[in-house]
C-alpha cells in the first residue's frame, strides 16, 4: 500500500453526547451496530474473537445503497489512540476495493463543550480508475452512523 493515498476528505458531525461516550461505543461495542442499523449493517464479526484492538480483523457485511444487495469488507484496525480518542480502520479485501485501490477511515471524537462533541471521519482513498466515483455513499453512511449513534447514546 502506498504511504500516502490519493484523496482525502473529512466529514464533521456535531453530537450531543460526550466524546468519551462515542469513542467507548466504537471501541467496545462496534458489533452492536448490527442492531442499531439493521437495514445497512448485516454482520460485523471480529476474527479470532476478542474486541476491537490494533491488528484486529473484522468481516463486515453491509448495504449502503450502492448495489442494491449486501457488500462485504475485510477491515483491519490499524491503530487505536485512547488519549486522542481515535480509531483508524483499513480495508484489506472486499467490494470497496473493487472501486478503490485503497480505503482507510480515521474516526476521531473531540469534546467541543460541556456534554457535546464532534465526530470527525477522515477518509483516505485511492480510486482504482479515473471513472471511479467519489465515496459519497460511504460519506452519507458515516454521517448516518454518527447521528444515529448520538441519538441512541442520548437515550441510554
Cα separation values, 7 from 97, 107, 119, 122, 150, Å:
15, 16, 20, 10, 28
CA distance 57 to 148: 24
Helix (H, G, I), strand (E, B) or coil at 9: strand
User: H/E element holding 67?
Assistant: none
Rounded CA-CA distance 54/119 in Å is 20
C-alpha 25/C-alpha 27 separation (Å) is 5
Is residue 124 within 8 A of residue 7, CB to CB? The reply is yes
**How does pLDDT run along the chain (156 residues), one tens digit per residue?**
333 458 999 999 999 999 999 999 999 999 999 999 999 999 999 997 788 999 999 999 999 988 889 999 999 999 999 999 999 999 999 999 999 999 999 999 999 988 899 999 999 999 999 999 999 999 999 999 999 999 999 997
DSSP, res 54: T
CATH of 7-154, one of 3.30.530.20, 3.40.190.10, 1.10.940.10, 3.40.1440.60: 3.30.530.20
Q: What is the 3-state secondary structure (H, E, C) of 90-128?
A: EEEEECHHHHEEEEEEEEEEEEEECCEEEEEEEEEEEEC
Question: How far apart, in whole angstroms, are the C-alpha atoms of residue 126 and residue 95?
Answer: 14
pTM of the model: 0.91
Give the torsion sign (CA, 43, 48, 53, 56): negative
Amino acid at each position: 500500500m502506498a504511504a500516502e493515498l490519493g484523496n482525502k476528505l473529512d466529514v464533521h458531525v456535531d453530537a450531543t453526547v460526550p466524546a468519551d461516550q462515542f469513542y467507548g461505543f466504537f471501541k467496545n461495542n462496534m458489533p452492536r451496530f448490527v442492531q442499531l442499523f439493521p437495514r445497512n449493517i448485516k454482520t460485523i464479526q471480529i476474527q479470532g474473537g476478542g474486541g476491537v484492538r490494533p491488528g484486529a480483523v473484522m468481516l463486515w457485511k453491509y448495504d449502503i445503497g450502492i448495489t442494491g444487495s449486501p457488500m462485504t469488507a475485510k477491515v483491519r484496525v490499524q491503530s487505536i489512540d485512547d488519549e486522542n480518542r481515535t480509531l483508524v480502520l483499513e480495508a484489506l479485501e472486499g467490494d470497496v476495493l473493487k472501486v478503490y485501490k485503497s480505503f482507510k477511515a480515521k474516526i476521531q471524537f473531540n469534546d467541543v463543550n460541556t456534554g457535546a462533541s464532534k465526530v470527525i471521519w477522515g477518509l483516505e482513498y485511492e480510486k482504482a480508475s479515473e471513472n471511479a466515483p467519489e465515496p459519497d455513499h460511504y460519506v452519507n453512511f458515516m454521517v448516518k452512523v454518527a447521528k444515529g449513534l448520538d441519538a441512541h447514546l442520548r437515550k441510554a
